[in-house]
Amino acid sequence: MALHRDSIAALFILLLVAGGWYDLQGVATEAAMFPRLILGAMGILAVVMFAGGLRRAAPENSFVEHARNLAITVGLTALYILAVEPAGYFPATFVFVAVLAYALGLRRPLLVLAASAVFTGAVWLVFVAAFSRRLPPGFLFDN
Amino acid sequence: MWDGLLHAIPGVFAWQNVLAMVVGTIGGIVIGALPGLSATMGIAVLIPLTFGMEPLVALGMMAGIYNGAMYGGAIPAVLLRIPGTPAAVATTIDGYPMAQRGDAARALQISCLSSTVGGMASAIALIALAPPLVQVTLLFGPAEYFWVAVFGLCSVSVLLGKDPVKGLLAACFGLLLGTVGIDGVSGHERFTFDDMNLAGGLHVVVVLTGLYALPPIFMLAEEAARRNASEGMAVLRASVGLFHGWTKFIKTWIRSSLIGIVIGILPGAGGSLAAFLSYNEEKRASKDPESFGKGNENGVAAAECGNNADNAAALIPALTLGIPGSAVTAIILGGLLIHGLQPGPALFRDHGDVVYGFMIQMLITSVLIIFFGGVVASRLFANVLRIPSALLAPCVLGLCVVGVYSVQDSMFDVYLMFGFGLIGYCMDRLRFPLAPVVLGVVLGGMAESNLRLALIIAQGDHIQLVSSVVSQIVIAMIVVVLAVPLIRGWLARKVRLPQ
């Protein structure tokens, strides 16, 4: 019999509790008291949630609504944030906005490129020009 | 109180503050009108931008976003039956049928006026009730504050969402996140995994942006698959006669404002509950309850007025006790802390000009909704609502990255935000409420420091934690809040059994 999602989530929480408890070894009693209180409460609640999940049938709907789009978005976002430091915020963001919009099905290249340029321009205007923030310049613009 | 108000007025009307309120209100209406974006997210994205600002400028912008977004949620709710904010769900019940029969402009006008009235009533309640409540907080010592923090967390955890166990687990998760870093008393590292980036703890903005801003973006991207990625959306027609027939709503506004204010003061109840209770009460009091759900104008007025009457009232426990009544007030509380403003009696004594100024800003931004919502928004949203989800998602992601990076000039924070975004998405899918996590992070430090301080004062005697009358009252309230779902479940079983 398939476990209910709640029971699976409860098992993850119990793992988190065990890991947290282990990590607190060696920490002074007074500093560990509050986190241990929370971990104890989480452990009890996770057991209650696990038991509650056992009494229910596994849901039929899928966990994600549209796996392809979610995978594309999460994957490209991961690549984007990894690229921000070496490539620089503005080049990386310009490419990211255009590529993700296209990948999600917006097949109007001119609109996509124009929107990407307007967005990065607006961010530059607000963050750099108005508020003097220094964003990652990347290898192209790093002095 | 009057001295504080009079001192605050010149500051509020400085041109920078007026500009901040205007920009915030417009931005809030835009954010609220975009499905998937919320006031919580808007303010979370904004907070890093406010670091260099004067507190009143930053708070004026937050007040504008808060009030604007709560009204803005009505626009897609009326036009497309998509509530722009969770609190706008009740607006769809009669707003959408009105739009279907060609009265979209009228429905939006009613929403705008009702939001303004509700917001103003709420701001006046904030100004009138917050200062006297400060005197009450003087009765609170470390032990009492600890129990108040526990009460805030328990009430939000139990009242938000359908499953109190998940709510409490979410609150515990938030509290645990709040303990990451070097312990301020003993100097021991907790959950840092020997990484220096974690030694200073998790910045509240990083957690908030990850948990609140990213999951809706992922869902927006998923939604792009359902709809044609480049299709346009509905266009609003120009409307006239904003104040036409307003007198018929007076009773509705009074009733809904009172409900919204009371709900707002209760931590965890939120605008959705205020809107639904106001709507139900309006229907119950109506001579023609059958017309509700089929485009009744009073139904729209009640839902929107109740929804906005919750706004400023939810700040009363936040400013006086440090207990935010909702997720968005938790973030505003975070914004106050970032600007060195500690909630409680000292806030009114030491920063009276700022806190009273903020209250006046809540009132002014409520009025600004009439102009920007009723006159400007209809034209603006004809274009903004046309932005395809496929384009909106990457733009908001780019904004989150720049916002979080700017907090501490740290890419590590951006990686953390992404991680919290994935956790937030999973929690959302598993129907864990996210607000208790936010409250846990915000209240965790207060709860722990007060607990340890109380134990030090009591020289380790745990009985002292429950010895004062105030502590006992708060503990009784905690017991009642935790017993509510049990009683509700027992009653539901009792009703089902005879069948």
At residue B417 the predicted structure's pLDDT band, cuts being 50, 70 and 90, is: very high
Are the beta carbons of B222 and A24 separated by less than 8 Å? Answer: no
Min Cα separation B362/chain A (Å): 25
DSSP one-letter code for B190: E
Distance CA B174, CA B187 (A): 21
Q: Taking residues B354-381, report their average pLDDT.
A: 79
Is the confidence at residue B175, as pLDDT, over 80? yes
Contact by Cβ (8 Å): B176, B445: no
Cβ–Cβ < 8 Å for B325, B23: no
Contact B448 A34 (CB under 8 A): yes
Higher pLDDT: B461 or B140? It is B461
Tokens (6 digits) for B31: 């954010």
Cβ neighbors of B4 (< 8 A, separation 6 or more) are: B131, B348, B352, B353, B355, B356
Q: pLDDT tier at B339 (50, 70, 90 boundaries)?
A: confident
Chain A residue with minimal CA distance to B226? A66
The answer on pLDDT for B229 being more than 60 is no
| pLDDT: which is higher, B485 or B409 | B409
Residues A92-118 pLDDT 10s: 999 999 999 998 888 888 989 999 999
Give the mean model confidence (pLDDT) for residues B154-166.
75
- A9-27 tens-digit pLDDT: 999 999 999 999 999 888 8
pLDDT value at B383 more than 60:
no
Whether A84 sits inside 8 A of B414 (CB atoms) is yes
Q: What is the pLDDT of residue B155?
A: 72
Tell me, yes or no, if B393 comes closer than 8 A to chain A by beta carbon.
Answer: yes
Residues B34-72: pLDDT tens digits? 655 667 777 777 777 776 778 888 888 888 888 888 888
CB distance B166 to B431 below 8 Å: yes
Per the CB < 8 Å rule, is B395 touching A115? yes
| Of B138 and B108, the one with more pLDDT | B108
State how far the Cα of B142 lies from the Cα of B134, in Å rounded to an integer: 16
Cβ atoms B440, B174 nearer than 8 A: yes
pLDDT at position B227: 61
Q: How do strand B189-190 and strand B181-182 relate by DSSP bridges?
A: antiparallel
The ipTM assigned to this model is 0.92
Query: Minimal CA–CA distance to B88: which of B20, B22, B37?
Result: B37
Give the one of A39, A41, A123 whose C-beta lies nearest to B398's C-beta: A123
Winning range, highest mean pLDDT, from B228-242, B265-279, B304-318: B304-318
Q: Do B185 and A30 touch (CB under 8 A)?
A: yes
B460: distance to nearest CA of chain A, Å?
A: 11
- pLDDT at res. B499: 46
Q: What is the mean pLDDT of chain A?
A: 87
Q: Check A69 against B190: CB less than 8 A apart.
A: no
Which among B52, B169, B402 is the nearest to A42, CB-wise? B169
8-state DSSP, B182: E
DSSP, res B248: G
More confident residue, B485 or B200: B200
What are the DSSP calls for A44-102, one per residue? HHHHHHHHHHHTSPPPSS-SSS-HHHHHHHHHHHHHHHHHHHHH-HHHHHHHHHHHHHH
pLDDT attached to residue B180: 92
- Candidate ranges B15-19, B48-52, B414-418; pick with highest mean pLDDT: B414-418
Does the structure show a pLDDT above 60 at B269? Answer: no
Chain A contact probe: residue of B30, B220, B231, B391 with most A CBs at under 10 A: B391
pTM of the model: 0.71
pLDDT greater than 80 at residue B233: no
Q: Please name the amino acid found at residue A124.
A: W
Q: What are phi and psi of B154, to 5 degrees?
A: -65, -45
> What's the pLDDT tens digit per position in B340-353?
788 776 777 777 77
Contacts of B228 in chain A (CB under 8 A): 105
Does residue B31 register a pLDDT over 50?
yes
A45 to B165: CB separation less than 8 angstroms, yes or no: yes
Q: Which residues in chain A are contacts of B422 at CB distance < 8 A?
A: 74
Percent of chain B's residues with pLDDT above 90: 9
pLDDT band for position B240 (50/70/90)? low
**Is A65 in contact with B217 (Cβ distance < 8 A)?**
no
User: In terms of pLDDT, which residue wins out, A46 or A141?
Assistant: A46
Q: Report how many Cβ contacts below 8 Å link chain A to chain B.
A: 171
Confirm if B401 and A89 have CB atoms less than 8 A apart: yes
User: In this predicted model, what pLDDT tens digit does every residue of B271-299 receive, in sequence order?
Assistant: 666 787 788 788 878 888 888 888 888 99
Contact flag A100-B229 (C-beta cutoff 8 Å): no
- Residue B189 parent element (H or E): strand B189-190
* Exposed/middle/buried for residue B247 (C-beta within 10 Å: 0-12, 13-18, 19+): exposed
CA B74 – CA B89 distance, rounded (Å) = 8
Q: Which B positions 440-469 lie with beta carbon below 8 A of chain A?
A: 447-448, 451-452
Closest residue in A to B189 (Cα) is A27
Residue with the bigger pLDDT between B387 and B242: it is B387
| A120 vs B374, more confident | A120
Give A49 to chain B, closest Cα distance, Å: 7
B169 touches chain A (CB under 8 A): yes
How sure is the predictor about B232, in pLDDT bands with cuts at 50, 70 and 90? very low
CA closest to B168 among chain A residues: A45
In this prediction, residue B411 has a pLDDT band, given cuts at 50, 70 and 90, of very high
Which SS3 state, helix, strand or coil, does residue B181 take? strand
The answer, yes or no, to whether residue B382 has pLDDT greater than 60, is: no
The stretch B446-452 carries a mean pLDDT of 85
pLDDT band, very low/low/confident/very high, at A40 (cuts 50, 70, 90): very high
What's chain B's average pLDDT? 79
Instruction: Tell me what pLDDT residue B476 has.
Output: 92
Q: Please tell me if residue B410 touches chain A, with a CB cutoff of 8 Å.
A: no
- Give the model's confidence band at B480: pLDDT under 50 very low, under 70 low, under 90 confident, else very high: confident
- What is chain A's alpha carbon radius of gyration, rounded to the nearest angstrom? 23
For residue B453, what is the nearest residue in chain A, using CA coordinates?
Answer: A30
What's residue B370's pLDDT?
A: 84
Q: Which residues of A touch B451 (CB under 8 A)?
A: 34
Report chain B residues whose CB lies below 8 A from the CB of A125.
none
Answer yes or no: is pLDDT of B309 > 60.
Answer: yes
Distance from CA of A143 to the nearest CA of B (A): 18
Which residue in the set A66, A77, A119 is minimally distant from B395, CB to CB? Answer: A119
- What pLDDT, on the 0 to 100 scale, is given for residue B236? 45
Say what the pLDDT of residue B234 is: 45
Dihedral sign, Cα of residue B474, residue B478, residue B479, residue B483: positive
The nearest CA of chain A is from the CA of B190 a distance in Å of 7
For residue B354, pLDDT over 90 is answered with no
Distance from CA of A71 to the nearest CA of B (A): 9
CA B224, B225, B231, B232 dihedral sign is: negative
Q: Look at A4-8, A38-42, B18-22, B148-152 and tell me which has the smallest mean pLDDT.
A: B148-152
pLDDT band (50, 70, 90) for residue B235: very low
CB of B333 closer than 8 Å to CB of B322: yes
**Contact between chains at B393 and A73 (C-beta distance less than 8 A):** yes
Chain A positions in Cβ-Cβ contact with residue B217 (cut-off 8 Å) = 73
R_g of chain B computed on alpha carbons: 22
- List the single best residue of B45, B193, B198, B405 to mutate versus A (max A Cβ within 10 A): B405
